[in-house]
Amino acid sequence: MKFIDEFRDGNLARGLAAAMRQAVRADRDYHFMEFCGGHTHAISRYGVNDLLPPNVRMIHGPGCPVCVLPIGRIDMAIAFARDLGVILCSYGDPMRVPASGGLSLLKAKAGLGRHAGSDTVSKDKHRGEIRMIYSGADALAIAQQNPAREVVFFAIGFETTTPPTAVLIKQAQALGLGNFSVFCCHVLTPSAIASILESPEVRQWGSVRIDGFIGPAHVSTIIGTRPYEFFAEEYRKPVVIAGFEPLDVMQSILMLIRQVNTDRAVVENQFTRAVTRDGNRKAQRLVAEVFELRRSFAWRGLGELPYSALGIRKEFANFDAERRFAVRYQAVADHPACDCGAILRGVKRPQECRIFGSVCTPENPIGSCMVSSEGACAAHYSYGRFADVAAVS
C-alpha cells in the first residue's frame, strides 16, 4: 500500500477483524498495551475497539511526553519567565497542563500581560514572557532577534524529538548565541516500559496485566527495534512495532494474538516502511554527543525512575537552563480527584476516573491526560468512546 486512504480501507479492516476473531482462543483473554498516545488516538478515532473480539482488551500506556511531565516541571517552566524574566518558548501542548496554584503556562502568560509572537522588547527588562512556538527553530530565531533577552526553549518529548533539540543546541553554539538555553525534559521509552513490567502492582491503584505491547512508531524510527528485544527475552512479553494508521494497529494486534497463542515472545516490526532494527544511527550519534543519561527523573504516574531521561552534557553547559538559572525541581502532588497517574500506568481507563467528562474536560482540564493531543482522556472524550465503560469489570 502507498497511500493513506489504503491504510483506512473499511473492507481491509473488516478482513483483519475477521482474522482476529478466528485467531483468538475462547479459553483465554488478551491484554495488550499500546504504549504511544498516537496509537491511543488512532484506536479511539477509528473505532478499532469496536472491531476487536470481546476477549481482547487494549490498555493505554504512558506514551505521551506531555502527560508524563510532573507538575513540578511545569512549575519550573513558569518560574523561568515569571521569576527570572526570560522569554520562555514552548510548544502548544504543554501550555494548558495544570501546574501549582491553579496556574498553567497559558494562565501565567496571560498574567505576564504579553502578547505571544511580539518581538518588541519590554521597557522592563526583568519582565518575562511565555511564547508558543511551532518548532525549536522559532526559539532560536527569537534569541537572535532579542540579543538583550534570555531565551529558554522548553524541550519535551521522547526519543523522536531529541535529535532536533540536539541540532538546535549545536546551532546555538555555532552562532555564538549567549542568550539561548534549553530546559531539557526529554524522556526515554524503554525506561517507562521497564518500570511497568517490574512493578505491575501499585499499592494505591491496583495491578495491570499485560500480555504484549504495541510498540511506538516514531520513537522506533530513531532507536530501532533492538532496545525492545530485552523485554521480549527477559519478561517474555511480545512487542510489535506498529504504524499509526488503523490498519497498522489492527494488523499489529493480530500479530500479538498469534504470538501469545504460540507462546512466543519476540519483537516484530509491522512498521517496516519506516523502522529498522538499528534505527537512525546518525541521529543516535548526534544525541549521544549532546546529551547524557540523568541518574533519576520524575514521571507523572511512574514516580522517580533511574536513567529514564536525558540531560545536557557539560560540554554544552552554557546552553543548559537548569545549570544556568537558579530554578530547582520540587515534587508536587497531583490533584486528589485526578486519576491521571493510574491511567498512565494502564491500571485504570479514563472512564473510571470519577471526574472524567464532568469536572475534567478539554475545556477545563484537571489532569494532563485531558490536555495533550496524545492524552488517553482527551482521546476518549474527543471521539466519544464512552460505550466501552460497560465492558469494564
Which grid coordinates belong to 75?
Answer: 512549575
Q: Classify strands 291-293 and 310-312 as parallel, antiparallel or unpaired.
A: antiparallel
Average pLDDT over every residue of 350-378: 91
- Containing H/E element for 295? none
Report residue 383: phi and psi, to 5°. Answer: -105, 10
pLDDT at position 67 is 93
pLDDT at position 198 is 85
pLDDT higher than 90, residue 122: no
pLDDT at position 393 is 41
pLDDT at position 301 is 85
Higher pLDDT, 262 or 195: 262
Average pLDDT over every residue of 121-134: 74
pLDDT at position 117 is 47
pLDDT at position 121 is 43
pLDDT higher than 50, residue 378: yes
pLDDT at position 202 is 65
Among 73-87, 105-119, 308-322, 350-364, the least confident range: 105-119
Among 334-338, 372-376, 389-393, the least confident range: 389-393
CATH C-level class of 71-189+279-324? alpha beta
Higher pLDDT, 285 or 207: 285
pLDDT at position 384 is 72
pLDDT at position 125 is 53
Average pLDDT over every residue of 248-275: 97
Report residue 228: phi and psi, to 5°. Answer: -85, -10
The pLDDT tens digits of the residues spanning 110-121 come to 988 744 444 444
d(CA 29, CA 34): 16
Residue ranges per domain, the chain? 71-189+279-324
Going by pLDDT thresholds of 50, 70 and 90, the confidence category of residue 142 is: very high
Which grid coordinates belong to 60?
Answer: 493505554
pLDDT higher than 50, residue 186: yes
Going by pLDDT thresholds of 50, 70 and 90, the confidence category of residue 373 is: confident
Could you give the C-alpha distances from 343 to 58, 270, 314, 320, 377, in angstroms and in order?
A: 12, 26, 36, 32, 8
Going by pLDDT thresholds of 50, 70 and 90, the confidence category of residue 385 is: low
Give the predicted TM-score (pTM) of the model. 0.90
The pLDDT tens digits of the residues spanning 41-60 come to 999 999 999 999 999 999 99
